[in-house]
Structure formats: structure tokens, C-alpha cells
Amino acid sequence: MTRTVFRGGSVVTSTEEIRADVLVDGERIVGIGLDLDAAGATVVDATGCALLPGGVDTHTHFEHMVASGATRTADDFTSGSIAALCGGTTTVIDFVRAPADTSIRDAFLRRRDRASEAIATDFGLHPMATAAASDAASIAQLQRLALEEGATSWKFFMAYPGSMVGDDVLLAGFRAAAEVGALPMVHAENGHMVADAIARLVSEGRVDPTQHVHGHPGASEAEAIQRAAALAKHAGSELFVVHVSAAEAVDALVRLRDQGQRITAETCPQYVGAAADAPEVTGALAAGFVCSPPIREAANQEAIWRGIDLGVLQTIGTDHAAFTLSQPDDLPPQKVVHDDFTRVPNGVPGVEERLMVMHELGVRRGRFDLTRFVDLVSTAPARRFGLDRKGSLAPGKDADIVVWDPAATRTLSASELHSRSDYSVYEGLEVQGVPREVWRRGTLVAEHGEPVGELAGTGTYQHRSTITTEAR
């Protein structure tokens, strides 16, 4: 088997940064320490660089059809995962939505097979319980997927026609999750409040994409989080809240944490790195900013940073759902409606930018140190979602290693990224600190921001372990 030693760098974990070498044999890390025996090994000179565990993004939507079935994201499994690798993310967890005529289990197996043919990162899948797939038989299939296929996290929607489930389904799903050690995830917005807010905007003729943010009041997030938490507590289950965006939601999470609630939560780079009220966000670009929950005003960003600082926002995902502002001939309908947010498909790209944006805005600007950065983008998501071989640099772990150059600079631009999207919500952001090399299970897969070799179909499905209660 191929042996590789990473020499001269600083190994960064979620708890410490130490000068050490990393020895890899085949796909696994076998040693960490100074002056490791490199006989017969390829030597990677990491002098002046940090050695980070490969990023783990537990919230992507590759090759995803929107609920109407008429529109699909621009990124398929190959393009989206190559973008992830070029940005330092080596593992993703995507989603499975069952069509009305397909069982959750069959949809899961088909999507896993499709991803295995095309994906370049290692990957897992979250099955989704939607309005069309939330009866007792579907909940039983979720349990079977957790026990047999390692799909130990399930997503429930609390908003949107065709997706939203009622409290009865949430309660049944949470109890079923507790029985098998699975983690229920919620898209936490009160669907009735959102529908009412959007209806008011439409009645007033306020449908320009700049108005989208006003259709998703922060109070709707807070209410949904508190309701889901009460149901989870009653059911005896864990709870994970995806893509937290609002100050009110952070306040709710703080209160629940202080009450001893078993709840963890994610936020996304767009909620601290982009702003709905930025002067350039007009016209077509405003349509490009449409996602749910929304990118909010700049003043809201401090609340998200506060949630990270207080530890109630423990992971950083992307909710990567890439579309284009134009209409390429080889893609399904994209964000080509620029004057009516109710007709714009929801989602923004960002899987490639995630580590660079959070390092620049978090580490470089003094909000947290490099060890906390590693925890947010890699270690905590791997731990929370049962990815036992991912998320840290230690003997026995997969050799997912990012050689991070803290001195290198770059200006982020969609024209140089690998998503098929034609824009970035971080366009023009200057960052210092970029991935020089990215290794996935001991193989070099990206170098200086470009993919290395034929990568489609080289990612492997991750059978995830059951979820244990987070230490408090």
C-alpha cells in the first residue's frame, strides 16, 4: 500500500495545534508525531502550513429536483463534489426525497447508487420525511434505513406546501428516531407564518426578489425551534436544527440550551458572509440570493456570530443548492425569473467557498481560533452525524487531510470556482488562507484549487453509526 508522510506542518485538531508529522498507510492515518519513519514513503513538505482534517459538509443538495419537479439544481453529484474537494471538503451528506409513487427505502437505494456512480467526495444521505412520505409505513422504513444502511439522520420540514408535516408526524418521527438512535433534523420555520407573510407581500405587489427576506420572519424560526424542541423532549429524542439564520432563533436556542434541552444546530456561511441589504444585491443577483431561510440584513449577522461564540450553533454546513442566473442549454430551468421571488427556485451555491469564507471571517478577523474552526467545519459535524472515521487527524481515521496555506491569498469569484453556478454570494471577498492540497483517503484529489485526476465515482458511501447524546 502507498505510504505518505506529511512533514513540517502543524497538526490542528478541535482541541490543539501541535508541530507534528502525519504518517499515512493506504487510506488511513497510522501515526502522528515528530520525526516519523518515512522509509519507503512519499514525503509531502508541509512547512509553513497547517494540516487540517478534511472538511465535512452535512448539508448539500446535489442533483436535486425542487418540489415542483420542473427545476433541478445546476450541480450534479460530480460537479458539486469536485467543487467541494477543491475547497477542502472531503465528505458531504446529501438528501433523499421520495417521489409520491416511490417508497423512502427505494428512493434512498436509487439515490445512493446514482451518487456512487458519479460523486468525488465520500458521502452519506439524509432521508427526508415530507407530506407525501410521512405515514407509519414510511416512518418504519426510516428506522430500517438507519439500522441496515447507516442512514442515521432524518429530515423533517416544518414549512412549505408539499413538504411540511404536522406535529403528529414530528412526534411520531422523533419517537421512532429515539428508538433506533437516529437524529431527527428540522427545517425550522413556522409554515403558516411564512405563508401568511408571503401572501401579504403578494397582495401589496411586493414580489421583487429583494422582498423575499420579508416573507420569512425571524419569529417563524424561533417558534418552530421551540415547538420542535418541546416535541423532541416529549418523545425523548435528540434534535438538530438546520440552517439557523435569525437573531430570534439564536435567542431561542440559548434559552433551550440553558434549560438543558438536547439540541444541536447548524448555521451557514451565507448568514455571516452575505447580506440581503447590500447595495449590489439588486436585479438578477437579488434572485440569486433567494434561499430559505433567507440571507438576512447585515445587522442580523452579529446574532449568528454570537450563537457560534456561545456554542449553540455547533456546525457550519452550506445548504449548497446551486442554480444559474442565466439559462444554459444543457440545464433544466434555473433562476431565470428575476422579478418575482415567488417563482424563483430557492438555493445558493457555496460548497467550495465554505472553508475559505469561515476562515477569513472567523479566524482571520479574530472571532475564533484555528482549533474552533476545525471543530465547526469538520470535527463537530462528523461527530454529530456518526461519521466515525472522519473529522479529525488521529491514527485509525481516514487520511482526509487538507494542507492549508495560511499565507496564500485569493479573491473569490464564480469564474474561478467549480460549481456550475454562474455567480457567488461571496463574489469579490478577499481571503487569506486557502487549501494548497486536499487528500481524500490518502489520495491527492485537489491541488492549488484545481481537481487532480479522474474523480467521478471515486467517493464512497459512509455507513454512519447511531447517534449518542452530546456531552454537555
pLDDT digits (tens, 9 = 90+) for 315-340: 999 999 999 999 888 887 788 889 99
Please give the residue that has the higher pLDDT: either 468 or 307: 307
Cα 293 vs. chain centroid, distance in angstroms?
14
Which band of pLDDT confidence, cut at 50, 70 and 90, is reported for residue 468?
A: low
pLDDT of amino acid 69? 59
pLDDT of amino acid 162? 82
Above pLDDT 70, what percent of the chain?
A: 98
Q: Per the confidence metrics, is the pTM higher than 0.95? A: yes
Which band of pLDDT confidence, cut at 50, 70 and 90, is reported for residue 66?
A: confident
The answer to whether residue 42 scores a pLDDT higher than 90 is yes
Which band of pLDDT confidence, cut at 50, 70 and 90, is reported for residue 472?
A: very low
pLDDT of amino acid 67? 60
Number of neighbours of residue 161 by Cβ within 10 angstroms = 10
Q: Is the Cβ–Cβ distance between 176 and 231 less than 8 Å?
A: no
pLDDT of amino acid 132? 77
Residue in the block written with cell 417558534: 223
Which band of pLDDT confidence, cut at 50, 70 and 90, is reported for residue 168?
A: very high
Rounded alpha-carbon distances, angstroms, from residue 459 to 33, 51, 117: 29, 21, 9
pLDDT of amino acid 471? 35
Burial of residue 330, with CB atoms counted within 10 A of its CB: 0-12 exposed, 13-18 middle, 19 or more buried: exposed
Cα(90)–Cα(382) distance, integer angstroms:
11
Cell numbers found for residue 276: 440581503
Cα(371)–Cα(341) distance, integer angstroms:
39
Beta bridge partner(s), residue 432: 409
Beta bridge partner(s), residue 51: 11, 403
Mean pLDDT computed over every residue of the chain: 95
pLDDT of amino acid 68? 59
pLDDT of amino acid 131? 78
The answer to whether residue 245 scores a pLDDT higher than 70 is yes
Residues 6+ apart with CB under 8 A from 390: 53, 54, 56, 90, 91, 122, 378, 382, 397, 398, 400, 462
Residue in the block written with cell 456550475: 420
The answer to whether residue 36 scores a pLDDT higher than 60 is yes
List, for residues 260-276, the tens digit of each pLDDT value. 999 999 999 999 999 99
408 DSSP assignment: E
Of 34, 67, 246, which is closest to residue 159 (Cα–Cα)?
Answer: 67
Above pLDDT 90, what percent of the chain?
A: 90
pLDDT of amino acid 230? 98
List, for residues 360-389, the tens digit of each pLDDT value. 999 999 999 999 999 999 999 999 999 999
